Structure 1
Amino acid sequence: MLHIPPEDVEFIRDSCGPEVVDGLLGLDGEGYRWSELCLRRPLWTVPGSSYTGAVLMAVLVAPSPRQLVMKVVPAGAPGREASVHAEALDAVPEFAKLHLVGRPYQPLDLPDGRTVMFQEVAGGSLADVVPVGSLGRDEQSQVIGTVVRGLLAEWNATALRTATPVQVTVPEFLRRELGDVWREGGSLQAFGRDLDIFDPSPPWLYSDGMRLPNPYLLVKGGHPALPDPTVPVLRGLGHGDLHLDNVLVPKSEKVVQPHAYRLIDLCTFSERADLGRDVATLLLSVLVPHVNHRNELPPDQRHALLRFVVDPDVSHRADIVPGAAAQVTAVRNTARQVMRDWGDPWDLQFLLSLTAAALRFTTYSGISEAGRTWFARLAAHACGEVLARTREKEGTARPPVREPGRDSFTVPGFGHADPAPHDRSAGFVPNQGPKRPEWQRETGVRDDRTVVGFGPDHTVVSVDSEGGIRRWTVSGEPLPGAGGHAPRQQLGHQSLVASLTHSVVVARPKELEIVHFPQRGGALRPPPVPLRNGDHFLVTSGGDVFATHDGNYLTVRNCQDGAPIEALPCPPSMAASAVSIDASVVAMARSREVYIHRRGREPLRKTVANSIPHARSRIMRLALPDPGLQLAVSPSGSHVGCVTFEEVVVWSTDDGREVYRRKLTDREAREALGAKWVRLVCTETGTLFWLRRGRLSVPTAASGTQLPQFETCADVALSRDGRLIALLSTEGRLEVWEL
């Protein structure tokens, strides 16, 4: 009869219940010839460490003396682990001997449905064998590259030689991969509802300046606005849940031995698994520490990491959180090298595997809301890349994947973007103004054409008339900048500071210069973006994206390389234009008509009064050219403001209401005549700031209240979230205020 020390009996009973003790004491089968079983001292236990709720502890048995891991597996679906583990061991015995954990004894079935398994100790040691998740980044990169190669080139060598691709639609693939977390309103659907992007579900979402398909609707399938492409898929042996803590690796003399890795917890093993699932799961588990912050990554880092995972570009590396690029490369490049004969179809399958894995990660309770929101974004980016790559093959017109819009992942009460400083439901506020100074400093540049703007994380940037760039942190500490050069800017304020990436756009004759500032330092200057003619000008608003116009079309462009995203026809004799931070609202105007384009909704057309002072008779109007005007759009696109030579008007874009209108005083109208470098800025509450002749006023207040200022103002800018305002004088004094 098996002898277990009384203190160990008590511990096992307390940890696992009396049924386990009774089962152990009753062991008398032919496979068990033990007379002694005791817990290893000091105790090695990991109660509840598995997501299945299994309890693990190290035991010593004899004869013959042996150290084992005893695993008590719960009843239900996890109870299949014993039989599935056996299938994994038998599938490729050579691989199993080197990289799986053996099962030297048959499992013990308990009356309550649970199973007790006895497994070999991975690598023969519980002290010198560690989970890969506990290693440093450099050691992790070594191991995960080796594991990915082993999964595909060794474990699946035979499967790949004999495999025939299976043609499946994207929804079929995703539903098969997601299984129970999707079916019957599972935890995945619940998280989509929290995000306000599932049930009801818009077919297209907006994230980081890009228009992407809703991954939840792709899982459902059959939506008339979304395609259901068919893709070839390779299947073979798969672990099923290969996160970093399910890979163990030994150390010899404290040095990691990557080729001696072992895979544990094989309860989700399958002989017909998606070959990309383990690779994608391993990759995303590597990224959890990078994205699992209480607050979201800064927009430039978040966007760069998302794009580097789904469509790697060397330009993304500069903005990626430290260490993440090497880890992503270790997984992606190794898998691509092993699967090079399959090539493009493998890339497509891996993007689908990333989509499914990212959606699964949104259901894990151990990941913060910020992390789960990042994985939801990743799912949208990955399936967007799938649709982009299958569009031409199907020969049908699809909406462009790259298109800006309001961020779908920052909804009230969820997500981690900074909330708007004012409740939009409060309506129009005519005289919002600077409240509290944040900081001020001398820039050293005296230039009446200098532009100021806010970059990511409220960094502040000035650009002089020759493109010289100076940058500061939100607290006023200097950051690396770049020198300028001739020729000067085309016309007035013709520079723009990007809000998602540390980039600046400068308009020069017939071309655009884009300068990037990577985190490692220095300035990157890609080749200039050519424009068709010298009459193509920069629209000095936006930020997530930017826009140019040539009198015929207003073109929205990507801040990374200036590539066109969409084009809108300009009205005849266009006098002014402005776009919201993401170009979801675009305003263009003739002398007396304003056209407001709202993405996904009907456009608005408004009329305004406009004539030059002292020339307002009908006869004089006919003799003079049509006067110009100024337009401004609030950062989110909630309001559009207009100042003509006669009046000030503000509209709400949600319902098209006119929320403010007044006639200009004669003095205001006269001061606008011939004023150089006029700038109009609109806040989220609809307050307008009007810069002309170096003086800043609030035209939406009675008689156009002028703000107190010590020097002539060269430029004014709002931060992306509308919380801060920057004022830059012609003498080089920079002030940042809270609104």
Structure 2
Amino acid sequence: MLFIPQEDADWIRTECGALVLEELHRRAGETEWTHLSLRRPLWTARGRSYTGAVLLAADVAPPARQIIIKVVPEGAPGKEAEALAKALAADETFATRHLVGQPFKPRRLEDGRTVMFQAIAGDSLRDTVPAGSLDEEIPEVAREVVRGLLTDWNGTLLDTAVPEEVTVSAFLRRELDDVWTAGGSLHAFGRDLRVFEPSPPWLYSDGSRLPNPYLLVKGGHPALPDPTVRVLRGRGHGDLHLDNILVPTKEKVTQAHDYRLIDLCTYSGTADLGRDAATLLLSALVPYVCHEPSPEQRKALLRFIVDPDARQRGLIVPVAVERVEAVRATARTAMSRTRDAWDVQFLLSLTAMALRFTTYRDMGITGRRWFARLAAHAAGQALSLTGETGADVPPVSEPGRDSFAVAGFGESPNAATTPTSFVPDQGPRRRLWEAQSGLQDDRAVIGFGPDHTVVVVDGTGGIRRWTVDGDPLPGAGGRPPQLRLGHQALVASLTHSVVVARPRELEIVHFPAEGGTRRSAPIELPDAGHFLVTSGGDVFATHDGNHVTVHDFDSGAVIERIPCPPSLAASAVSIDASVVAMARSREVHVHRRGRSPLRMSVANSLPHLRSGFLKALLPDPGCQLAVSPSGSHVGCVTFEEVVVWSTDDEREVYRRRLTDRESREATGAKRMRLVCTDTGTLFWLRRGRLSTPTVDGGTQLRQSGTYNDVAVSRDGLLMAMLGSEGRIELWDL
């Protein structure tokens, strides 16, 4: 006869049901227990697990011992007892040290649930804690666990293992299994991101061209490679987040080497060997990704995870760096015999697990979006290591701004502003601050960096920076030779970086968070006909007579090349180069990533020479182009007219003929700039005077003195002006 205190019996009946209470009495008849009581105060460290199981800590006698009673729901979690039995039998030495035993057989109840009886991990509930409750000890625990999984649990298997050859898509589908085939939350979140159905095969996010991970899983897309890779399989936990690792303490010191793994309902003897390490890494990074970091930090952490670079360290929280290295470096060392193949396998494991993490709603929208980005970065790096980048396939992306902006939850604060209807007379409303740059240089230009920092670049490539409130930031000195004539510098919008065009090369200057400057290797300009396109921001572009070439802002690496029309007169790109405008004298060609190109005609001839024999003798006149940050509008000013088109619905939204004065002042390279906002407003700086040409007559804006340059922020909320005497003004738009 089993005695259970009334209070405990009532609690079990209420929380677990009468069937569980009846099972305990039956089990007492088999084990000769006479007493069972719940630990007081009630043990709630585990509470209800992620699988919905109820966990009870109990004392039973005789003989006196502590056990864990686990009531597992029907379905996949119900397989835990069987899976744990297989794991315990797979390697007795590892099981004794690092798994939790089953001293009594489990029992399936009439309603489909299973009651399990487990030993206490580490022999103490009080001195054993989940790794998720630790802090600075997590890297040490991660190193011990990853080393144990790959060398102790799987060491003998790896001695005789033969890699499995499988396509990338088949590997990913197997890893995602239930969340993919069910068509549930993974599919729903992909549709929310607008990258699932219908969707582009290539995405632009964080300034990089990346494969669409959702379509990579699906497979069969003609524009996405699906190479065969070699993967190793073996014993795996299957859901190794931090709270499934218990760690004992001794005299308040964590004993990382004595870790225990729990909740093995997803155990497999033929698991992807990268899955546990990838899950552990992502679990360890959750505290650092569930809030929106700055664009610079976000990109640095994403890239450091998939392709570590010492230069990225200063931009990342040091604790996050340590956690990444603890998993990644330990795994690479353990898999040193097959490191090249392992690198690809681990990246694909990261891709799959990052997509799985997007289904966890408790991560919040920001965290889920971050994991979607990581999946794209990891997939892209994996394809690059296989040599399958799809370079011969024209990149496609939709929409033109950050592809991982979640519809219905507001744009990411770092994404370009969503286009609105055409507003021809948007203009500066309120001056926020002004300061002296100390420059009187007619080649100086101004731009916005991340977090609305204001950056001025002088004619020697010298860089001066301010916060949005007008506080000075560290800059960099210039050097000879001077920059090319015109606006030959561009400020990055995602990273604190600047690219400048010297006569024979492009120079990229970075301002790391830890201070100082870093300069990427110069990019050679083959001839005097190769130019920097002075629009963009997430990426930058150059053009010659044959192509507009899009570059990564970190290293200058080529992302894509877009053919130019013959006799190119002007070019401009959106913030991420998803929309590229290229003009001949009387034609504007618009490349829209993932959509058909546009071709529009414009009137263009030099004033006072629009008829007569001289017209045939003079070269065709040029023009000025501008693309809005998101790519929603393209504006063009020729010597005859101003035109604005909407690229979303291919409409001409504004056209008018220039006045004679505007035509005469449309020539020159210095103090000239055309800027387009996402509302379609054009700001035209011509010979130092700023106007809005989209208002009939070309409304002149009030200003004191003349301007060298103007810039509009990525989100379209601010405008910065650089006066010819060196004054900086910042205005609300």
Normalised to the residue count of structure 1, the TM-score between the two structures is 0.94
Alignment counterpart, residue 418 of structure 1, candidates 390, 413, 420: 413
The match for 2:251 is: 253
Q: 2:508, 2:331 → 1: CA distance?
A: 34
The match for 2:438 is: 444
Corresponding letter in the other structure for 2:404: F
Q: Deviations over 1:490-523 (max 9, x none)?
A: 1122110011111100111201110111111111
Alignment counterpart, residue 466 of structure 1, candidates 453, 457, 460: 460
Confirm or deny that 1:613 pairs with 2:607. yes
Residue pairs, 1:238-637, within 5 angstroms: 238-293=236-291, 296-391=292-387, 398-399=392-393, 406-414=401-409, 416-418=411-413, 424=419, 426=421, 428-637=422-631
Q: 1:10, 1:569 → 2: CA distance?
A: 76
Alignment counterpart, residue 199 of structure 2, candidates 178, 198, 201: 201
Q: Deviations over 1:593-635 (max 9, x none)?
A: 3222222333223332223333333223234333332111111
Alignment counterpart, residue 680 of structure 1, candidates 667, 674, 682: 674
Kindly indicate whether the alpha-carbon contact (under 8 Å) linking 1:131 and 1:246 is maintained by their aligned counterparts in 2. Answer: yes
**Post-superposition offset of 1:162:** 1.9
Give the number of equivalent residue pairs: 732
Q: 1:725, 1:141 → 2: CA distance?
A: 45
Q: 2:68, 2:132 → 1: CA distance?
A: 20
Q: Which moved more, 1:366-375 or 1:251-260?
A: 251-260
Kindly indicate whether the alpha-carbon contact (under 8 Å) linking 1:493 and 1:540 is maintained by their aligned counterparts in 2. Answer: yes
The match for 1:22 is: 22
**Post-superposition offset of 1:432:** 0.9
Superposition RMSD on alpha carbons, in Å?
A: 2.3
Gaps of 5+ in 1: none
The match for 2:34 is: 35
Kindly indicate whether the alpha-carbon contact (under 8 Å) linking 1:388 and 1:401 is maintained by their aligned counterparts in 2. Answer: no
Q: Deviations over 1:637-682 (max 9, x none)?
A: 1111111222211122224322211121122223334462311101
Q: 1:695, 1:497 → 2: CA distance?
A: 22
Kindly indicate whether the alpha-carbon contact (under 8 Å) linking 1:511 and 1:529 is maintained by their aligned counterparts in 2. Answer: yes
Kindly indicate whether the alpha-carbon contact (under 8 Å) linking 1:84 and 1:268 is maintained by their aligned counterparts in 2. Answer: yes
Q: Deviations over 1:562-583 (max 9, x none)?
A: 1222223434443222111111
Corresponding letter in the other structure for 1:55: V
Corresponding letter in the other structure for 1:370: T
Kindly indicate whether the alpha-carbon contact (under 8 Å) linking 1:236 and 1:275 is maintained by their aligned counterparts in 2. Answer: yes
Kindly indicate whether the alpha-carbon contact (under 8 Å) linking 2:395 and 2:593 is maintained by their aligned counterparts in 1. Answer: no
Q: Which moved more, 1:110-119 or 1:487-496?
A: 110-119
Q: 1:559 to 1:29 in 2, by over 3 A?
A: same
Corresponding letter in the other structure for 2:688: G
Q: Which moved more, 1:1-10 or 1:264-273?
A: 1-10
Q: Which moved more, 1:556-565 or 1:544-553?
A: 544-553
Secondary structure of the residue that 2:519 maps to in structure 1?
Answer: coil
The match for 1:722 is: 716
Kindly indicate whether the alpha-carbon contact (under 8 Å) linking 1:391 and 1:397 is maintained by their aligned counterparts in 2. Answer: no
Corresponding letter in the other structure for 1:65: A
Kindly indicate whether the alpha-carbon contact (under 8 Å) linking 1:384 and 1:401 is maintained by their aligned counterparts in 2. Answer: no
Q: Which moved more, 1:62-71 or 1:280-289?
A: 62-71
**Post-superposition offset of 1:54:** 0.7
**Post-superposition offset of 1:472:** 2.2
Q: 2:727, 2:694 → 1: CA distance?
A: 26
Q: 2:260, 2:213 → 1: CA distance?
A: 34
Residue pairs, 1:96-107, within 5 angstroms: 96-107=95-106
Q: Which moved more, 1:317-326 or 1:92-101?
A: 317-326
Secondary structure of the residue that 1:285 maps to in structure 2?
Answer: helix
The match for 1:225 is: 223
Q: Which moved more, 1:143-152 or 1:653-662?
A: 653-662
Corresponding letter in the other structure for 1:6: Q
The match for 1:88 is: 87
Q: Which moved more, 1:503-512 or 1:308-317?
A: 308-317
**Post-superposition offset of 1:424:** 3.5
Corresponding letter in the other structure for 1:27: R
Corresponding letter in the other structure for 2:628: S
Secondary structure of the residue that 2:518 maps to in structure 1?
Answer: coil
Corresponding letter in the other structure for 2:526: R
Q: 1:19, 1:390 → 2: CA distance?
A: 55
Confirm or deny that 1:10 pairs with 2:10. yes
Q: 1:625 to 1:194 in 2, by over 3 A?
A: closer
**Post-superposition offset of 1:122:** 1.4
Q: Deviations over 1:137-176 (max 9, x none)?
A: x311111011101100001111111211122222221222
Q: 2:550, 2:460 → 1: CA distance?
A: 24
Normalised to the residue count of structure 2, the TM-score between the two structures is 0.95
Q: Deviations over 1:97-118 (max 9, x none)?
A: 1111122222244333322222
Q: 1:165, 1:420 → 2: CA distance?
A: 42
Kindly indicate whether the alpha-carbon contact (under 8 Å) linking 2:433 and 2:470 is maintained by their aligned counterparts in 1. Answer: yes
**Post-superposition offset of 1:235:** 0.8
Q: Which moved more, 1:534-543 or 1:201-210?
A: 201-210
Confirm or deny that 1:657 pairs with 2:651. yes
Identity of aligned residues (%): 67
**Post-superposition offset of 1:205:** 2.6
Secondary structure of the residue that 1:133 maps to in structure 2?
Answer: helix
Secondary structure of the residue that 2:209 maps to in structure 1?
Answer: strand
Q: 1:579, 1:722 → 2: CA distance?
A: 16
Kindly indicate whether the alpha-carbon contact (under 8 Å) linking 2:461 and 2:479 is maintained by their aligned counterparts in 1. Answer: yes
Alignment counterpart, residue 639 of structure 1, candidates 626, 633, 637: 633
Q: Deviations over 1:446-501 (max 9, x none)?
A: 32222111112222211111112122223333322212222221112211001111
Q: 1:255, 1:326 → 2: CA distance?
A: 20
Q: Deviations over 1:185-205 (max 9, x none)?
A: 232222222222223333333
Kindly indicate whether the alpha-carbon contact (under 8 Å) linking 2:588 and 2:601 is maintained by their aligned counterparts in 1. Answer: yes
Kindly indicate whether the alpha-carbon contact (under 8 Å) linking 1:675 and 1:692 is maintained by their aligned counterparts in 2. Answer: no
Corresponding letter in the other structure for 1:2: L
Q: Deviations over 1:63-95 (max 9, x none)?
A: 222222221112233222112112111111111
Confirm or deny that 1:131 pairs with 2:126. no
Q: Which moved more, 1:690-699 or 1:73-82?
A: 73-82
